[in-house]
Each structure stands twice: as C-alpha cells, then as structure tokens.
Amino acid sequence: MPGFELFGDKEKRQVQDVLDSGVLMRYGFDGMRNGHWKAKELEAVLSERMKTKHTHLVSSGTAALTVALASAGIGAGDEVIMPSFTFVASFESILALGAVPILVDVDDTLTLDPKAVVAAITGKTKVVMPVHMCGSMANLDALQSICTKHSLLLLEDACQAIGGSYRGKPLGSIGDLGCFSFDYVKTITCGEGGAVITNNKTFYENAHKYSDHGHDHMGNDRGAEAHPFLGYNFRISELNAAVGLAQIGRLDEFISIQKRNYTILRDALSQIPEIVFRRVPEGGEENYSFLNFFLPSEEVARNAQKALGEAGVDGCFYWFDNNWHYYRKWEHLTAAKSLGKLPQEVVDSLQDESKFDFSASDHWVGRNISCLIKLGWTEEEVQVRAKKMVDTIQRII
C-alpha cells in the first residue's frame, strides 16, 4: 500500500486507450469510444472478485458511502451507528443525507465493539456501519446477528481493506452493502474513485441512478432518459476507471507483497513481550496494509512513535492524536460547524460532546501504533526496518 508505488506499463496502456478514444466520460458517446468502456469493465471485474451480483463505480470512497446510504433510503433524522475511530468521510457521508452519525466505542480489533452497538440502538437507528480500519475487519458475525435481530442494515466500509476476507468471503461482500475507496493512497488506486457493491438489485438500481442526477440509464439516448427521483453527480471518469482496471488485476500481487513485509515486521516485533498485536476476529484475514500493535500505556506509545520517526522509521502513525481519524479532534462535528444551517433533525439528534464516554476506545487507540506497509520495499529494506523498530521500541520500554 499504496498501489501508486508500482505504477507501470499496465496502467499506462489502459489510460492511453481512453485518450486514444477521446471519450473521458463513462456514459454516452457510444460511436466515438471504439468499444472502450473502462468503468463497465472495472465494475464487472470487481463483481467477480468480490463475489457479488452488482457493482457501481463512483468518484470517491466518500461518494460510495453516501450513495450506498441513499440507495437504501437513508435520510433526514435516520441514525447510523459508526465507530469513534475511522476517517471523517464516515460521518460526512451520513450528514450529507441529513442523517445522524452515532459514534460508539471500538474494541481491540480497532473496529466497532458489538456490545457498544447494541447499547446505542434507538427507534431511529437504521444502519450499522462497521469500518474495517487499517486493513482488518470487525466481528461481522456478531454485527450481522445484531442487525438481523433489530431489522437494521449492515453497511461495510471496506475502504481501507480491499483484499481482506472474513470466513472465506471478501470484505465488503458480507453486509447488505459494501464500499471501497480507490483514492491515491489505497492498496489499489484510481487516483480518485470508489465503488458500491451489493447483492440487492433495488439498492444497485438506486445507486447507479442517484449517482448520475437520477438518470434511469434506459435505452441508448442519454438525452431521452427519464428521472425517477432526485440525484446528484458522483460519477467516476473513464481515465480514473482505466487506472483502476489495471490495478485490480494486480491486487493479488500487491497483497502478497504486503503480507511478506507485514510478516517480517510482525515476527521481529513479537520478540518484545510488552507488545500485544491487534486482534483479528476468528476466520478473518487482513489485507496486510498496516501492522497494528498495542504498547503498555499511552505515554509509552506516544514516546515510541516519536522515537521511531527520529530513527528514520517513517509511516508509523499514532492515531490517538490524529486530526482525521479519531473523535478527539473532530471538533467540526461535535460543534456542528457548517457553512450553512444543518437540518433540524441533525441539530436535535447530534451527540452531546460533554457526555461522550469513549474511555474504552481511548484504552485501545491511545496505546496503538499503526505502521503502514509499503509495496516498494525490498525484503532487505524490510529486515533493516524491522531491526530499527525492535531496537527503538526496546529502548523506550
């Protein structure tokens, strides 16, 4: 991770096909494009790879989450349960529809704690959104059981976890809907892009229409298409899809490299008895894009992350202090800072920051260091990195 590290001739050829046709838009201009439909091709490949009936590409992972929620009819005042540790796009997508994000604790998987989910369910709850952060998954058996019992939708945010699996099924394919991001720093990239996958035909039909101004995509005359409902523009371009089409064909290659590098680092760090590794739910396999481990205390973790940087070991993140990924720095959410007025349903239902008790999340995230696994490292470079990490952390402990 990320896939741009290994850009090469395959990506260039796919992009050149689009430039040669002169058609950069995914819809229309049938006579000009010489049979090139990169978005459609990538959707077909993703459906096969993810073992789902339907895939629809959009402009980003954030767009994918927004479109997925909209396709299931989520709107004003509906509550969506999400984790306190994620990327800001999770709550942005919810708020974009006038729905209400309900933050709950994570556990030692660094993903949704099922017990916290149960405690957060109200009469307004419509969706449970686990986020498979840093390449590993939530306890999807437990969350599916909760959703079935309470008649809720399960929406998997697998934006950081493509290539991972749970009980033999690709992450993203297990819930009612799944979402991926293909932005510039993901395991496979389109530069910018995302995807919604589902086995529900109604959700798929809604998704492809909603993301293109409500066009029904019936017939071959775009100007004559009907608009069964309101929509917006979340379209992906053919150029972005072309890059992704080359990259998806390399996913197994990328996962194999990540697993090799991850394993070298984990084996080395296993020598340190004070280190406890993130729990992967039984039956799950990460995509090996990050190595996550816990140190004995918040102070030790913070000092270790600083020391690793000073030792030249880049890419080791301390999410507890991060502006983008942990609730403690989401003051724009908690203070409801918006350019315009928020819907009253949102204002009335947003959680009160003064009553937050995410001490369970703090216990895990505060002691966590998360190390990016790069594709471009040689095996020798990873061995050197592993030794530096062990030496540095042992000095701190």
DSSP string over 58-115: ES-HHHHHHHHHHHTT--TT-EEEEESBS-THHHHHHHTTT-EEEEE-B-TTSSB-HH
* Residues belonging to the active site: 186
Q: Per the structure block, which two tokens stand in for 56?
A: 């629809």
Spans of all domains in the chain: 3-250, 252-396
Pick the CATH number of 252-396 from 3.40.50.1470, 3.30.160.100, 1.25.40.20, 3.90.1150.10: 3.90.1150.10
In this chain, the answer to whether the domains covering 3-250 and 252-396 adopt an identical fold is no
Q: How distant is the alpha carbon of residue 137 from its chain centre? A: 11
Give the sign of the dihedral formed by CA 345, CA 198, CA 170, CA 47: negative
Q: What is the pLDDT along the chain (397 residues), one digit of tens a residue?
A: 899 999 999 999 999 999 999 999 999 999 999 899 999 999 999 999 999 999 999 999 999 999 999 999 999 999 999 999 999 999 999 999 999 999 999 999 999 999 999 999 999 999 999 999 999 999 999 999 999 999 999 999 999 999 999 999 999 999 999 999 999 999 999 999 999 999 999 999 999 999 999 999 999 899 999 999 999 999 999 999 999 999 999 999 999 999 999 999 999 999 999 999 999 999 999 999 999 999 999 999 999 999 999 999 999 999 999 999 999 999 999 999 999 999 999 999 999 998 999 999 999 999 999 999 999 999 999 999 999 999 999 999 9
Q: What is the largest CA-CA distance in the chain?
A: 69
Residue with tokens 């590098």: 261
Distance CA 155, CA 138 (A): 12
Q: Is the dihedral of CA 53, 56, 57, 61 positive or negative?
A: negative
Q: Residue 1: its pLDDT value, please?
A: 84
- 141 φ/ψ angles, rounded to the nearest 5 degrees: -60, -50
How much is the pTM? 0.97
Look at the domain 3-250 and name its fold.
Answer: Aspartate Aminotransferase; domain 2 (3.40.640)
Mean of the per-residue pLDDT values for the chain? 97
pLDDT at 259: 98
pLDDT in tens, 161-174: 999 999 999 999 99
Q: From CA 18, how far away is CA 40, in angstroms rounded?
A: 13
**Could you please report the per-residue DSSP string of 325-352?**
TBGGG-HHHHTT--SSPPPHHHHHHS--
The side-by-side arrangement of strands in the sheet containing 284-285 is 169-170, 165-166, 284-285
Percent of the chain with pLDDT over 90: 98
Cβ atoms of 188 and 50 closer than 8 Å: no
The predicted-structure confidence for 31-64, as pLDDT tens digits, reads as follows: 999 899 999 999 999 999 999 999 999 999 999 9
